[in-house]
C-alpha cells in the first residue's frame, strides 16, 4: 500500500471513530409530561451551550413502563424512576442504573419506614401483631402498604390465597384498621374488601368520607396515621421516620398535635424489640431508596459521565438553569427529584441500590405479577 493510501485509510478510520463517538454521546431522555418535556428541552439547550461533550434529546412516553420498553429497545437511553419502578425495570427488562439521587449528598436512602406505637402499650411487638389495630397512610403506598404488609408476609404472620388477595389477608390478620382507599372501586371493584380495614377511620368533620383516599379522611396520609394512634384508635402507625417531627414542627398545629408528647411514643423494631424515635436507622421495617436513572447495562458509564458533568454545571440555579429545581415549570420532581443535592454513581446492580430490606418486601408481592 502506498504512503498516500495509508494516510487516506488512517484518516478515514479516525473520521468514522469521531462520528461513532459523537453518536455515543447523544443521550435520549424519556419524559412523561408536557412540563417535564419542557425542562428536558431547556436542559438540552443549556447543555449544548456549555459544551458538556454530549447532546441531549427528549422523547415522550405514556408511563414508566413505556419508558422501560423504549430504553430496552434503544429508542430512549435514560429516565429517572422511583424505587418500585426500578425493581420492575431490572427484574422484567434487564435494565440497570447509571446514577442515583442523594438528598443529603452522602447516601441514596430516601427515608425509613417505621412502626410507631404508644409507650403505654407494653405488650406489643412487630412479631406478634395478630388482632392488633393498625393505621396506614393509604392503600397501595410504599409506606402504608408495600413495606408493612411485605414485612408481615416475610415474617410468616400473614399469607395470601391463590387469588393473591392481600386486602382479605390483612383484614383477617388485624383486629381493625384504617387503610384509606381500601374500599375505592379502583382497589375494590367487587366491593369485597374487608370492612374492618376502615373501622379505625373517622372521615371528615361531618362524619362523611370515611376511609376516603384523600385528606377528607382525617386519618389519611402519614400525619393522619399518626393521629390515628394518638387518638387511641390504632395500636401502631406505619409512617416515615420524619413524620413525627414534621407533624409537630408546624406553626399552627391542630389540637391533637398539641396534646402529643414525643415521650409518649416509641418505635417497634423488626426483631421484636423497641427503640426511641431517634433510633430509626437501626429500628425500621425498610430503608426506602431514592429515585435513580435507569439505563441499558452497557450505558451505565456513558450516561453517568454526562450527568456528572451536568451536575457540576447546573447543580444550582447560578447558570440560568437548575437540574434539581422544577418550580419554574409549574410541576414538581421533573426529570429529577426537587431538592436532590447530588447524583451518585451506582457501582453495583439495581438490587444493590434498592438494598436488601426494600428488595425483600417487594419480593413478597411477586404473586401479583411484577412484569
Quote the pLDDT of residue 21. 42
Quote the pLDDT of residue 347. 92
Pick from 160, 130, 123, 110: nearest CA to 284 = 110
Q: Which residue has the cell 413502563?
A: 65
Average confidence (pLDDT) per 10 residues, the chain, 371 residues? 47 40 73 96 85 85 96 97 94 96 93 95 92 96 95 94 91 96 92 95 93 96 95 95 89 83 92 95 96 97 94 79 90 92 95 94 85 79
Sign of the four-CA dihedral 137, 84, 69, 304 = positive
Helices and strands in the chain: count of H runs, count of E runs: 12, 13
The pairs formed by 173-176 with CB atoms below 8 angstroms and a separation of 24 or more are 173/129, 173/130, 174/129, 174/130, 174/131, 174/132, 174/133, 174/134, 175/131, 175/132, 175/133, 176/133, 176/200
Instruction: Tell me, yes or no, if the two domains 3-104+291-351 and 109-287 fold the same way.
Output: yes
Quote the pLDDT of residue 15. 36
Quote the pLDDT of residue 2. 56
Note the CATH architecture for domain 3-104+291-351.
3-Layer(aba) Sandwich (3.40)
Question: What residues contact 31, with CB distance under 8 A and at least 6 apart?
Answer: 37, 39, 40, 58, 59, 60, 61, 79, 335
Quote the pLDDT of residue 248. 85
Cβ pair 338, 101 in contact under 8 A: no
Domains in the chain: boundaries: 3-104+291-351, 109-287
Quote the pLDDT of residue 13. 43
Alpha-carbon distance of 328 to 342, in angstroms, equals 20
Quote the pLDDT of residue 259. 83
Q: Which three cell numbers stand for residue 350?
A: 439495581
Helix (H) or strand (E) holding 287: strand 286-289
CATH superfamily, region 109-287: Periplasmic binding protein-like II (3.40.190.10)
Q: Cα–Cα distances in Å, from 48 out to 44, 201, 226, 263?
A: 6, 53, 48, 55
Quote the pLDDT of residue 317. 66
Q: Which three cell numbers stand for residue 19?
A: 462520528
Quote the pLDDT of residue 25. 77
The pTM of the full predicted model, rounded to 2 decimals, is 0.85
Cβ pair 194, 201 in contact under 8 A: no
Amino acid at each position: 500500500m502506498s504512503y498516500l493510501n495509508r494516510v487516506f485509510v488512517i484518516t478515514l478510520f479516525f473520521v468514522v471513530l469521531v462520528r461513532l463517538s459523537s453518536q455515543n454521546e447523544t443521550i435520549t431522555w424519556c419524559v412523561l409530561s408536557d412540563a417535564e418535556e419542557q425542562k428536558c428541552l431547556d436542559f438540552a439547550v443549556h447543555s449544548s451551550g456549555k459544551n458538556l461533550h454530549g447532546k441531549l434529546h427528549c422523547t415522550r412516553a405514556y408511563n414508566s413502563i413505556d419508558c422501560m420498553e423504549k430504553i430496552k429497545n434503544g429508542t430512549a437511553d435514560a429516565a429517572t424512576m422511583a424505587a418500585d419502578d426500578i425493581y420492575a425495570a431490572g427484574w422484567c427488562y434487564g435494565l440497570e442504573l447509571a446514577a442515583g439521587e442523594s438528598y443529603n449528598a452522602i447516601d441514596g436512602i430516601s427515608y425509613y419506614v417505621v412502626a410507631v406505637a404508644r409507650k403505654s402499650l407494653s405488650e406489643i411487638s412487630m412479631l406478634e401483631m395478630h388482632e392488633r389495630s393498625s393505621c396506614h397512610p393509604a392503600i397501595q403506598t410504599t409506606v402504608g402498604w408495600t413495606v408493612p404488609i411485605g414485612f408481615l408476609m416475610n415474617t410468616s404472620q400473614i399469607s395470601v390465597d391463590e387469588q393473591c388477595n392481600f386486602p382479605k389477608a390483612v383484614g383477617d390478620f388485624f383486629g381493625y384498621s384504617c387503610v384509606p382507599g381500601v374500599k375505592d372501586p379502583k382497589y375494590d371493584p367487587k366491593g369485597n374488601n374487608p370492612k374492618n380495614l376502615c373501622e379505625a377511620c373517622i372521615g371528615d368533620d361531618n362524619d362523611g368520607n370515611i376511609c376516603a383516599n384523600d385528606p377528607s379522611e382525617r386519618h389519611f396520609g402519614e400525619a393522619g396515621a399518626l393521629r390515628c394512634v394518638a387518638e387511641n384508635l390504632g395500636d401502631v402507625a406505619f409512617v416515615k421516620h420524619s413524620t413525627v417531627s414534621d407533624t409537630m414542627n408546624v406553626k399552627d398545629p391542630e389540637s391533637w398535635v398539641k396534646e402529643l408528647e414525643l415521650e409518649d411514643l416509641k418505635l417497634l423494631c423488626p426483631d421484636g424489640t423497641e427503640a426511641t424515635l431517634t433510633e430509626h436507622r437501626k429500628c425500621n421495617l425498610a430503608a426506602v431508596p431514592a429515585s435513580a436513572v435507569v439505563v441499558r447495562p452497557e450505558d451505565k458509564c456513558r450516561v453517568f459521565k454526562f450527568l456528572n458533568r451536568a451536575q457540576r454545571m447546573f447543580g444550582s440555579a447560578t447558570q440560568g438553569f437548575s437540574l434539581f429545581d422544577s418550580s419554574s415549570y409549574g410541576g414538581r420532581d421533573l426529570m429529577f427529584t426537587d431538592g436532590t443535592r447530588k447524583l451518585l454513581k451506582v457501582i453495583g446492580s439495581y438490587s444493590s441500590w434498592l438494598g436488601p430490606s426494600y428488595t425483600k418486601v417487594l419480593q413478597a408481592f411477586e404473586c401479583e405479577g411484577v412484569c
